[in-house]
Structure formats: C-alpha cells, structure tokens
C-alpha cells in the first residue's frame, strides 16, 4: 500500500479513536505533501519516495524545534512532548539509519577514497556521502565525524 494511502488510513483511524496527537501529526504531514503537490513547477507524481522525503524533512524540522522548546524549560514542556511524539511517529515510516560505528567506517572509507587530507574539505566528504546514502545518514553527523577524522582525532 502506498505511503500516502497509509497516512489517509491512519487519519481515519485516529478520527475514530479520537487520538488527537496522531490526528494532528497526520494532518500536518498530509498538508506538507499537499504543499509539495501544489508547489510551482511540480509536475511529477506523489510517490513513496516523495512522501518519505516530506516525512524526513518534517522530522528534521521537529527535531530542531524540540531543542528550542527544551531550552525554554517547564513553560514549553507540553509543546516539546508533542514534538517528540511527532518525531517518533515519523520515524515509523523512515528507513533505519546507520549506527555510529558503521557511519564512522563509511566516513573513513570515503575520506581515503577521495584522498582528502585537509580538514577544510569536509564539505566534499559530506556531499559525497549524502549523494550515495540520502535518507540513511544525517549530514550533521557525517560532518561531525569527518571533522574529527580529518583533524586526526577519534570520532
């Protein structure tokens, strides 16, 4: 079953169950998908890859927002909890990423293959890995590990 249909089914079930957090999250994701569908210049079809891209982008946005709400302390705890729920909900659909050890090995391999020695060329490593492993790794994690590797430290 296509992911967009799964989201529609989850929306209907959440309405029946009066599950407000799930309902809010699915509605937000469906809105983001609709924004993509109606974006200027979009002539493609909404497929699972596009839906996964939308979900991943929303999860990343929510992760940034959680950090901001967490820094506000008790006043924003409820919003932070809602965002944590949304992140967990999104992760159900996304492919599992690499663990830290596997990512470190990949970064070392790509640094060696590209022949990079200068820490200022971290961007080349990140770009190379993101091209081949989009959706599997986080660019921030790749950058952090690559910087440590190129600086001669242990990641």
Q: What is the dihedral of CA 84, 86, 89, 95, to 10 degrees?
A: -80
pLDDT of amino acid 60: 87
Question: Concatenated DSSP letters for the chain?
Answer: --HHHHHHHHHHHHHHHT-HHHHHHHHHHHHHHHHHHTSTT--S---HHHHHHHHHHHHHHHHHHHHHHHHTGGGGHHHHHHHHHHHHHHHTTSPP---HHHHHHHHHHHHHHHT---GGGHHHHHHHHHHHSTTTS-HHHHHHHHHHHHHT---
Q: What integer pLDDT is reported at residue 78 of this predicted model?
A: 87
Mean pLDDT of 90-100: 80
Percent of the chain with pLDDT over 90: 30
pLDDT digits (tens, 9 = 90+) for 97-135: 777 888 889 899 989 998 888 888 899 989 988 888 876
Q: Are 108 and 67 in contact (CB under 8 A)?
A: no
Select from 85, 56, 84 the least CA-distant residue to 70: 84
pLDDT of residue 58: 92
pLDDT of residue 154 exceeding 50, the answer is no
Per-residue model confidence as pLDDT tens digits over 6-21: 999 999 999 999 999 9
Q: Residue for token digits 């974006």?
A: 39
With bands split at pLDDT 50, 70 and 90, how would you rate the model's confidence at 136? confident
Confidence band, pLDDT 50/70/90 cuts, at residue 34: very high
**Which residue, 64, 149, 134, 141, is CA-closest to 100?**
141
100-151: CATH class: mainly alpha
Question: Please, where in the chain does CATH 1.10.10.410 lie?
Answer: 100-151
Nearest Cα to 2, choosing from 48, 45, 41?
Answer: 48
The CATH 1.10.1510 domain(s) of the chain lie at: 3-91
Residue 153 reports pLDDT greater than 70:
no
Residue 115 CB neighbour total at 10 angstroms? 7
Q: Per residue in 52-88, pLDDT tens?
A: 889 988 988 998 898 888 888 787 888 889 999 999 9
Instruction: Name the architecture of domain 3-91.
Output: Orthogonal Bundle (1.10)
């Amino acid at each position: 079953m296509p992911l967009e249909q799964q989201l529609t089914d989850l929306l209907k079930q959440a309405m029946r169950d009066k599950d407000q957090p799930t309902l809010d999250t699915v509605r937000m994701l469906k809105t983001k998908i609709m924004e993509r569908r109606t974006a200027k210049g979009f002539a493609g079809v909404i497929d699972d890859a596009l839906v996964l891209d939308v979900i991943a982008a929303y999860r990343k946005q929510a992760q940034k927002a959680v950090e901001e709400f967490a820094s506000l302390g008790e006043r924003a705890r409820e919003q932070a909890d809602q965002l944590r729920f949304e992140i967990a909900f999104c992760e159900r659909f996304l492919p599992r990423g690499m663990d830290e050890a596997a990512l470190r090995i990949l970064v070392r391999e790509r640094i060696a293959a590209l022949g990079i020695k200068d820490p200022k060329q971290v961007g080349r490593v990140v770009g190379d890995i993101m091209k081949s492993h989009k959706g599997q790794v986080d660019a921030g994690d790749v950058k952090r590990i690559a910087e440590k590797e190129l600086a001669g430290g242990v990641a």
